[in-house]
Structure 1
């Protein structure tokens, strides 16, 4: 929902009524939502009236059926943008897919900022429909990808959607995409805790989410947002597998000297993990070639196997597999 107007009294009159809802609000879950006399003049009247049908979402059984073929489902989260979440998702997908016996899928639910197609080098691909549903785009035989980026006329087009339309697309990604049998489904999410996060949790509730990996950088401005992200996970019942610290230092390719670009003024991810009682999966140093690989759509792990960042990625990914397997 958008911002609600200030409620003049403190007495809720319907189920699920927000604390700052207008007086006599029937609540967004009510059959009268957006239709009662109390809704007249409310800023949210149209949204409530046109929201999804009350009661169980009819898409849930279809989602459950599709997801029954997926063994492991992981969310990649970040409280703040620009911390390398999508880049980590891509490296994770490539690492899983390096085992020819594993089938891996990446679902990009960052609706307004779909960068996964570019990072994976498939930005010019399109989605095809068949009798079994939408066919994901394949990076290689065992790495499938679905993103709204494949649906846009060009990379310059902005996606300006409200919550219900975002939710509908995420539902389609889960129930209409012919993922087939997957060993891993990695879900790349937008920064923060908004519609996309609530939708993916709701839709996968019955199928189960194996856990979330939270990405941060060392500086306190990112750490603060990650605390909120971890709090979100705990409130909605998602297990936090661990935290990954990106941009944890810069290793000079020539002299191999490491410098702190983003200084951890409050202890960085290590201190955060201790405070929150979660595991620090590892720290990935800065390497300019990571950005270059993302721009050209190639696997950094394959292109630069000797980089300290590659070793850090592989250690983190192996720890992930150990914890989940």
Structure 2
């Protein structure tokens, strides 16, 4: 089928909403001709039931209408055949970032805690959205298989991934590509799995889900030092850890174990975050509901245990809006970016994402001329 270069150039501005790449690069434009001011274009969807077909249709029509020589648009939507989907999968595999490969430039950060109830998932969701708002390409894996909550916190509780044969395309929320076991179960059913199944689930998230090229991949880890923590160290040996605690001394003591696992796994603990540090009262004063000093204490203990500096990245105050944002599916850093808690989370996100990563030991694809 013939393709008019001017129309193809206009369509190059249209991205597939799930793959986040131009439809022209994905081989989705089958034909594009201009006849007497009418642009007749056929676009091939990856699957017949593409949930975002209307988005592609509207974006393509709008892009073509920007050309002065186009007076009207006739757009036809078809579906890729098996050979075309196979070619698409191969092209995507060629570009996919192998997160477990030492040469990968994607920063993989697991958010860990010693116990539940410290706000780990809410903080992870906000960190991801803050990084995406800064223009980074961000992926988020809800690795807390038994206690998954990320889809709800990001406002996509009923989202289902799109499947292109054996490849899974993660839903996108607030600019973040997200995958969770909650997207594969119905009616909030519990997931009753033991070690091998948990490992396999994480492995599939890392191999079957197409995240594309990412700057940062965050993992919302389950509390403690169980099967998933071990699997992460095996599947993602270059991953780093951030340990979350509340100011309470007892909580910091438990959280220390989640960071000290790095002694055995060889991972790097890049910092500590203290959550629920204080509550701002109407008169401007603050109340330390859970005590004080836990974050600093945890930072010092992990520094001594690991033999490398583990800084306190920040202290996030207790804010009712943070809870409200999670319930509404709109993270605080987006709904109230000027609030003290959002400002602190955004600062932490920037400190994590802008840390330089050395190229020592990486093999570069260059050869002497």
With normalisation by structure 2, the TM-score equals 0.66
Residue 180 of structure 2 is aligned to residue 147 of structure 1: yes
Structure 2 gap segments, 5+ residues each: 1-93, 304-309, 358-369
1:270 match: 296
Residue 223 of structure 2 is aligned to residue 194 of structure 1: no
Residue 260 of structure 2 is aligned to residue 231 of structure 1: yes
Residue 145 of structure 2 is aligned to residue 111 of structure 1: yes
1:321 match: 353
The equivalences for 1:85-124 within 5 A come to 85-100=120-135, 102-124=136-158
Residue 104 of structure 2 is aligned to residue 78 of structure 1: no
Q: CA deviation at 1:314?
A: 1.8
- For the residues of structure 2 that align with 1:153 and 1:319, how far apart are their CA atoms? 37
Q: CA deviation at 1:137?
A: 1.1
Structure 1 gap segments, 5+ residues each: 1-61
- Contact 1:107/1:185, CA 8 A, preserved across alignment: yes
Q: CA deviation at 1:235?
A: 1.7
SS for the counterpart of 2:98 is helix
**CA deviations over 1:149-169 (Å, ceiling 9, x no partner):** 1011112x1111111111111
1:179 match: 211
The 1:162–1:131 alpha-carbon spacing in structure 2 relative to 1, beyond 3 Å, is same
**CA deviations over 1:222-264 (Å, ceiling 9, x no partner):** 1111111121022211111000000000012x32221011013
**CA deviations over 1:14-41 (Å, ceiling 9, x no partner):** xxxxxxxxxxxxxxxxxxxxxxxxxxxx
Structure with bigger strand share is: 2
Report the count of equivalent residues.
Answer: 255
**CA deviations over 1:31-70 (Å, ceiling 9, x no partner):** xxxxxxxxxxxxxxxxxxxxxxxxxxxxxxx9x9632566
**CA deviations over 1:113-154 (Å, ceiling 9, x no partner):** 0010110011111122114611111114x4100000101111
SS for the counterpart of 1:149 is helix
- Contact 2:156/2:173, CA 8 A, preserved across alignment: yes
Higher relative contact order (CA 8 A, sep 6+): 1
- For the residues of structure 2 that align with 1:242 and 1:65, how far apart are their CA atoms? 25
- Contact 1:132/1:178, CA 8 A, preserved across alignment: no
- Contact 1:70/1:181, CA 8 A, preserved across alignment: no
Q: CA deviation at 1:295?
A: 0.6
- Contact 1:243/1:279, CA 8 A, preserved across alignment: yes
- Contact 1:70/1:185, CA 8 A, preserved across alignment: no
With normalisation by structure 1, the TM-score equals 0.74
CA RMSD of aligned residues (A): 2.0
